[in-house]
A and B are shown apart, each in its own frame.
Chain A
């Protein structure tokens, strides 16, 4: 130990090597614990532990290709709704504390209440996806690796065109995992005045522009 002495910084000598090692280990344990707690809120089973999720969006999602498909590769709730990168993930997780508040308030605790808010909730997600260039889609669906010859006629025709126009996944692929809110397609009076769906007609469209909160 004597020959190590001159390499040991003064502050380590002051608090002792054992303390330094102790802090290091405590750091690992703390970070591990934090990460474990965070990841446990990042599971499908956690999401559907609230009946708001289980009774509404989870049921709809069960009919879609992201839930069940030929090969059994799935995208679960957090794969689409929580970013994978650490920074954006933390931001999203902090924003999600608002969802805890609304769980306590019971804002969407019946299917009727949920459907009344569906247009607003959907537009929030569309805006988030648009702002991040559909980052969560692209975690799996990388368009630079798409083989258009393997795609259907329509997809092979539309994808290159849309990418050239600077569109992003969510511009066209809305309502693929959950039901859409009422959309005004100008067919009869049923959905008159409802949300109009955008297909990214204006590339570079202001992300907030598409999701102006309804004045309700």
Chain B
């Protein structure tokens, strides 16, 4: 949850920055967190390989327990699938991509992930032991989670 909060605030900051100058004058704060200046989120550094942090809720896309520095997903090449595809996972020791990702929208099975799942990092983000920016009472719904 800490990560989700961090990401939500990051997204908020980003949107604030993109908005027009007029909107910026109106929105100076999100809750009690100022949207100006450096925040803890700006200090984010990718972490090195680590034990996986347990999920916070069921069906949460698992976090990435390793650095993804320089791992690009482009039109030409999907770096994630270079290790995590069914064909490569045995050799690389990577976690195989879930079966659901191999289905197209008509539930037809494909030989590799469906193009609609191409952008891995839309859902799977690198894990980071981020402290909540705003105190909250969230309790994990997953056994073994926090």
Interface residues of A (CB under 8 A from B): 63-65, 152-154, 157-158, 175-176, 179-183, 185-188, 190-191, 197, 199
Asked if A182 and B76 make an inter-chain contact with CB atoms under 8 angstroms apart, the answer reads: yes
Closest to A65 in B: B70
Contact indicator per residue, chain B 95-120, by CB within 8 Å of chain A (1) or not (0): 00000000000000001111100100
Interface string of B77-102 (1 = CB under 8 A from A): 11001100100100111000000000
Q: How far is the CA of A179 from the CA of B111 in the complex (A)?
A: 25
- Return chain A residues, CB-CB under 8 Å to B67: 152
Min CB distance B58 to A, Å, is 27
Q: Which of A152, A186, A187 has the most CB of B within 10 A?
A: A187
Contacts of B38 in A (CB 8 A): none
Listed A/B pairs (10) with beta-carbon separation below 8 Å: A152-B67, A153-B66, A154-B66, A176-B70, A179-B76, A180-B74, A187-B114, A188-B114, A188-B115, A197-B77
Residues on B lying within 8 angstroms of A by beta carbon are 48-49, 66-67, 69-70, 72, 74-78, 81-82, 85, 88, 91-93, 111-115, 118
A175 to B91, CA, bound (A): 20
Q: Are B115's CB and A179's CB within 8 A? A: no
CB distance from A57 to the nearest CB of B (A): 14
Given A157-B93, A175-B77, A179-B76, decide whether A186 and B70 contact each other with a Cβ distance below 8 A. Answer: no
Interface secondary structure of A, over-half rule: loop
Tally of contacts, chain A with chain B, CB under 8 A:
57
Contact A180 B77 (CB under 8 A): yes
CB closest residue in chain B, given A157: B93
Which residues of B lie under 8 Å from residue A190 when comparing CB positions?
75, 115
User: Contacts A181-B76, A188-B118 given; 19 further ones with Cβ under 8 A?
Assistant: A63-B70, A65-B70, A152-B48, A152-B66, A152-B67, A153-B49, A154-B93, A179-B72, A183-B77, A185-B78, A185-B82, A186-B111, A187-B78, A187-B81, A187-B113, A187-B114, A187-B115, A187-B118, A191-B75
> Min CB distance, B6 to chain A, in Å?
23
A65 partner residues in chain B, CB cutoff 8 A: 69-70
Tell me if B66 and A185 are in contact (CB < 8 A): no
Chain B residues near A176: list those with CB within 8 A. Answer: 70
Q: Are A187 and B112 in contact (CB under 8 A)?
A: yes
Q: Which residue of A lies closest to B93 (CB)?
A: A157
- Alpha-carbon gap, A188 to B114, bound state (A): 7
Q: Which residues of B contact A64 (CB under 8 A)?
A: 70
Residues of chain B contacted by A153 (CB below 8 angstroms): 49, 66
B11 CB to nearest chain A CB (Å): 23
Shortest distance between the CB of B18 and any CB in chain A (Å): 23
A187: chain B residues within 8 A (beta carbon): 78, 81, 112-115, 118
Contact A183 B70, CB 8 Å, known A153-B49, A157-B93: no
Chain B nearest CB: distance from A123 CB in Å? 14
B101 → A minimal CB distance (Å): 10
Enumerate chain A residues within 8 angstroms of B115, measured Cβ to Cβ: 187-188, 190
Contacts of A152 in B (CB 8 A): 48-49, 66-67
- 6 nearest A-B residue pairs (beta carbon): A188-B115, A153-B49, A152-B49, A186-B112, A180-B77, A182-B76
